[in-house]
A and B are shown apart, each in its own frame.
Chain A
Amino acid sequence: MHDDKDTQGHGLAEGSQELSRHKSANVDTILSAGLGLKPLHFEQALAAPADGLWFEVHPENYMVDGGPRLAWLEAIRERHPVSLHGVAASLAADAAPDPAHVARLAALAGRLEPVLVSEHLAWSTWGDVYHPDLLPFPRSNEALLRIAGNIERLQDALRRKIAIENPSHYLHIEGHEYDEIDFLEELVRRTGCALLLDVNNVFVSARNLGASAQAYIDAFPAAAVAEIHLAGHSPDPAFGERLLVDSHDAPVAPLVWQLYERLIARIGPRPTLIERDDKLPAFEVLLAERARADTVLRAPRRIAA
């Protein structure tokens, strides 16, 4: 029986017991574990076996007028589902997203018909400067109203739901009026958006802020999770293990795998991405990491009573 209806309106994963099914002229597959895609690996990605495999890119790297990069991505898209994971909409800035950026994102999404679209609970553009990072803010009522409005603008422009990702934290910030999960749940309630749960971010943030990663994973609203991210982190060069950096330059850590298995046991399988942005290993190494997530997702599990 499958009565876990789409009450949060996420619409991306088909309820908590199934991986989402993606259909198009060329692709009819279950989204299982996916990989972040880098130009270096285009050839191998194109040839990779397609069973449940999907790829995710940062749309900002494909906002070009033409050329081989876009052509490659379109070729990949013919073979595999593609997800767009934005890093620059700056939804948490106290300003509307740049209309030119939103228009380019919408044009790219129209061209690629991505299976998932996501963004971050963070800001990066402020004034006329783009900071290539995901910056924090106090989770106030004021911020909630602003961000909900910004998510709605983006969803309206794309004419689809997007998933919002929990960020990595490095700072104790004064002025939070919500804890993060309540804040995300409130955004889901107000905008109908989905959530992207980055398990590594949970681990890194919990370590840096002295909180419990397990408690966060256990409390995260299952029904809203449309996608999961797994990535590697590294200790800060100056402060070591006391300050972990969400560097995406290493394999997924054993404790992050444990949290992931715990999460999947509770909420059921969801499309899961292995993210690697720096110190790229051979494609086979990434495929092996991806296979591990795939195994977790496909493991038989008891249906919760």
Chain B
Amino acid sequence: MRLARFQDSFAAALLVPEPATGPPGLASQPGFAVYRNTVMKGCIDALQANYPAVARLAGDEWFRAAAADYARASLPRHPSLLDYGADFAEFLSGFAPAAELPYLADVARLDRCWTEAHAARDETPVAAAAVAGLSRDELGRTALRPHASARWAWFAERPGYSLWRRNRVAADEAAAALTPIEWHGEGALVLRPHATVEHLELDAAGCAFLDACAAGRDLATAALEALDCNPHADLSRLMQRLLEAGAFAEMTTT
């Protein structure tokens, strides 16, 4: 059998639990299951490593069954498994067994933010002092590019950030037992300005502000978009929090 044909039929047989086809005489040998199991285990382990808060919240058994469903539909496209499951949050939001657990997709989204922040390009954040020196007029004409590691998400209907934290940050587990989660919309900024991944709560206005910054708008425009979202937003406090967090990496004044 030609090599390419062998690989076509072998790869196809890997995905079928009880293959009727496959390379002649191979899929019926007990050893074929070792390959099928290893491929599936590799995919599921990678998803579990990339989505630890989802796995913790949903439980191992539920998570691994969901991950197997995901893997059967979308095997990895390239060998860097850190990147595997980039659309797992979307998968969960359309996954029938998760219909009553809509917050799993939110938690998945923040797990993905963490992975992307962790592996992002290293760069030095803009210091708060550099911005403090600008006049009000210059400030309006200044654009701040978000740091390469910065990822943010707003969850309008659910406290996505609190749910994620309690399942991802060991120190927050104990606190979780004491304080009930307040059920309202919540967002987060996840970033790695230096060596470790950090995160903070961000409201809808804050997310709109960062969206505008990422689109290259100047701060005057970004401020308007944030106020559009919430007319009472405290923009100077928002700027201060973002700068202290190291959320920007490039400043351009025109």
Contact = CB atoms under 8 A, between A and B. Distances in A.
A243 B118 contact: no
Nearest to B5: A94
A170 interface: yes
Contact of B11 (A60, A126, A173, A239): A126
A146 interface: yes
B237 interface: no
B10 A63 contact: no
Contact of A126 (B7, B23, B81): B7
Interface size class of A (residues with CB under 8 A): 35 or more
B118 A171 contact: no
Given A130-B76, A170-B31, A243-B31, A143 B119 contact: no
Interface in B175-227: 192, 195-196
A170 B123 CA distance: 47
B3 A140 contact: yes
A49 interface: no
A74 to B, nearest CB: 12
B121 interface: yes
Contact of B32 (A104, A126, A171, A175): A171
B11 A138 contact: no
A137 B35 CA distance: 13
B81 A132 contact: yes
Nearest to B77: A128
A88 interface: yes
Nearest to B27: A171
A138 B34 contact: no
Contacts of A142: 2-3
A25 B18 CA distance: 55
Interface of B: 1-4, 6-8, 10-11, 14, 23-26, 29-35, 38-39, 42-43, 46, 75-82, 118-123, 148-149, 192, 195-196
7 contacts: A94-B7, A104-B80, A132-B39, A171-B35, A172-B25, A236-B33, A243-B30
